Amino acid sequence: MNPYPKNIASKLPQTGTSIFAIMSQMAKAHNAINLSQGFPDFPVSEKLISLVHKYMQQGFNQYAPMPGLPALRDAIAEKTRFLYSASYNPETEITVTAGATQAIFTAISAFIREDDEVIIFEPAYDSYVPAIKLCGGTPVNIQLKLPDYHIDWSEVKNRITSRTKMIIINTPHNPTGSVLSASDMQELDKITRHTGILVLSDEVYEHIIFDGYEHQSVCRYPELASRSLVMCSFGKTFHATGWKTGYCVAPENLMKEFRKVHQFVVFAVNTPAQHAIAEYIQDKNNYTNLGQFYQEKRDYFLKLISNSKFKVIPAHGTYFQVLDYSNISDESEMDFAVKLIKEKGVASVPNSHFYKNHRNNQTLRFCFAKNNQTLEKAAEILCQI
Ligand code: PMP
Ligand code: GLN
């Protein structure tokens, strides 16, 4: 087909296809065990599935209210109060979204203008930068510091300018599994107090935290929360990434602007899924045991690969494990990851794709949200490399 118009100017000239789509597609093409894109390979709870079915059969199949089903917003308010002692008004301060991806895009679109600067920490989840750029904003990339991927707050302070409009944090952190501490949150609070800087806090792995660490939600810090939008994902929490359901909580003045955009990005979110989650989430065990469940998976995976040549980068959250392959190869992360798929049959994600300049640390990210048999098969291969 002849394209018309011919030389269309891309709004995102540096953006290719998401690395998650690329690696999952490659895993499929080569029949590799897919530990790349983050999604569980075990089923969603029967109970939750039957609830969706029930609500579909009962006829809850038309548009939900624009900000989300009242019963689900009430349940989110209760969950946020229970976990973080924070009070959000379900009427005006909670919006159900089509996953955290939409929440993030919506928040950035609602607040970022031409020439605004947004601080992000690298390695950074892939959806932040394109959203910032589409709004004409400038991402300001600050490197997390090795070996434990921590934030150097004095550097953050130095990089703030009169144009800084937002800081995006992510804890527990994808891809490294690092977690922010109470003192990190206090620093963030101090640095942004009495400024016009908003905080976007990506907390999709809020329940997937290990080794006795406690999730430091922005919601725990009232001053900080007063200028923050917090993003969560039911996809992670209920092993249902394909349902694309999540939410944003923020104070009323921010949520008012968020909803102005939300209504034209998606308007409303899948109705039967909202009904089902509203009921399922009443039982707190359905989310409070997730950390232990995934810690056992992480520990099992690490035990299985303990005799491999890969070096483990310690992680305290998410369902990802970063492994260093510098004892095995000098190749770039992408080259090594492709070889691992094509020649060995295991798919991972090259962490270089979470950096603007595709920085190579000779590390790959492996998702351990998998059945034990899947982990065993993958580990057997990794141990032979
Ligand atoms: N932020 C991070 C850090 C993620 O890892 C993901 C997805 N895995 C998202 C946001 C998007 O979440 P969702 O699938 O709910 O859109
Ligand atoms: N967040 C998931 C990951 O990090 C993938 C989500 C997606 O494919 N967009 O692998």
User: Which domains does the chain possess?
Assistant: 19-44+288-382 (3.90.1150.10), 46-285 (3.40.640.10)
Distance from the alpha carbon of residue 203 to the mean position of ligand 1, in angstroms: 9
Vertex 351: Cα angle to 314 and 139 (nearest 5): 110
Q: Ligand 1 pocket test: pick from 23, 101, 208 the residue with the most ligand atoms within 8 Å of its Cβ.
A: 101
Note down pLDDT in tens along the chain; length 385 residues: 777 777 888 999 989 999 999 999 999 999 999 999 999 999 999 999 999 999 999 999 999 999 999 999 999 999 999 999 999 999 999 999 999 999 999 999 999 999 999 999 999 999 999 999 999 999 999 999 998 999 999 999 999 999 999 999 999 999 999 999 999 999 999 999 999 999 999 999 999 999 999 999 999 999 999 999 999 999 999 999 999 999 999 999 999 999 999 999 999 999 999 999 999 999 999 999 999 999 999 999 999 999 999 999 999 999 999 999 999 999 999 999 999 999 999 999 999 999 998 889 999 999 999 999 999 999 999 999 9
Nearest ligand 1 atom to the CA of 234 is 15
- From the CB of 321, is ligand 2 less than 6 Å away? no
Convert 191-258 into a string of H (helix), E (strand) and C (coil): HHCCCCCEEEEECCCCCCECCCCCCCCHHHCHHHHCCEEEEEEHHHHCCCHHHCCEEEECCHHHHHHH
The rounded Å distance from CA 125 to ligand 2 centre is 8
State how far the Cα of 50 lies from the Cα of 350, in Å rounded to an integer.
37
Helix H or strand E segment including 335: helix 333-339
Ligand 1 center from residue 204 Cα (angstroms): 6
Atom from ligand 2 closest to the CA of residue 127: 9
Residue 178 alpha carbon to ligand 2 centre in Å: 17
Quote the ligand 2 centre to 20 CA distance (angstroms): 6
Do you know the residue count of the chain?
Answer: 385
Q: What is the pLDDT at residue 366?
A: 98
Q: Whose CA is closest to atom 7 on ligand 2?
A: 20
Distance, CA 184 to ligand 1 centroid (Å)?
Answer: 22
127 lines ligand 2 (CB under 6 A): no
Residue located nearest, by CA, to atom 5 of ligand 1: 174
Structure tokens at 206: 């809020």
For residue 2, the model assigns a pLDDT of 74
Distance in Å, CA 127 to ligand 2 centroid: 9
Residue nearest (by alpha carbon) to ligand 2 atom 2:
38
**Which residues' Cβ are closer than 6 Å to ligand 1?**
38, 99-101, 125, 170, 174, 202, 204, 233, 235, 241, 246
- Ligand 1 centroid–CA 211 distance in Å is 22
Distance 128 CA to ligand 1 centre (A): 11
pLDDT of residue 6: 77
Which residue among 17, 35, 37 has the greatest number of ligand 2 atoms within 8 angstroms of its CB, and so is best to mutate? 37
Q: Is the pTM of this model over 0.75?
A: yes
Nearest CA residue ID for atom 12, ligand 1: 100
**Ligand positioned closest to the Cα atom of 206:** 1
Beta carbon of 18 within 6 Å of any ligand 2 atom: yes
Selection from 246, 222, 224 nearest residue 236 by Cα: 246
Atom of ligand 2 nearest to the CA of 38: 10
The alpha-carbon radius of gyration of the chain (Å, integer) is 21
- Strands 117-122 vs 94-97: parallel, antiparallel or unpaired: unpaired
Whether ligand 2 lies within 6 angstroms of the CB of 37 is answered as yes
Residue closest to 73 by CA, chosen among 315, 297, 255: 255
Among 97, 236, 241, 265, which is best to mutate for testing ligand 1, by the most ligand atoms less than 8 A from CB? 236
* The pLDDT of residue 4: 74
Residue the block writes with tokens 């995006």: 168
The DSSP symbol for 145 reads B
